Amino acid sequence: IEAMGPRPDLLAVHVGRCLGDVNRGVRFVAAMAVGRAKIVDLALLVEPLLLDESQSVQAAAIYALTECGWEVDPTPLRQMLGSDDPEVKANAALVLGELGNPTASEMIRWSLRQPMPSVSQVRGRMVDMQLAEALIMLGHRQERQAILAALYAPPEQAELVAMACQILG
């Protein structure tokens, strides 16, 4: 799905059936792709995802519908930022960063201060890097320091280095 991003015409043909996939990751990526490509014709297929069992998919639906020009209530994203589920928290931040509304910066900074006690230290750092990436999208370039620091993580935390390389790329 992501590989078709540069070809919205091709994406529009294939992404619709992915919005109903059994895998929440596929639904998430499909909805994000609809939003990034602004495929207005698929907005009706995205709308039911606002009630998806996965909060990450709900966040992607908010993004897609907003980008397609629909009036959508973005307030659930704040609750998602406070989640102790690292996937939900990171994806809510991604959506806020992609939406590009600078007023979301304070919510993301608030989220950085919310503990996730049931999450490993490495996974917590990965989420913090994703929150920093969202802040960078919103114009806070100084957050790059958190990403650059991860490049020097010890070998047993190679996931951090890989993620930092991906974000910087």
Averages of pLDDT over runs of 10 residues in the chain (169 residues) are: 91 93 97 96 97 98 98 96 95 97 95 91 93 96 93 93 93
**pLDDT value for 115:** 86
Q: Which residue has the tokens 């091709």?
A: 10
Q: What is the pTM of this model?
A: 0.92
**pLDDT value for 51:** 98
Three-class secondary structure of residue 49 per DSSP: helix
Q: What angle is formed at CA 52 by the lines to CA 46 and CA 57, rounded to 5 degrees?
A: 70
Q: Which residues touch 49 (CB under 8 Å, ≥6 apart)?
A: 19, 27, 31, 57, 58, 60, 61, 64
**pLDDT value for 169:** 87
CA distance 135 to 133: 5
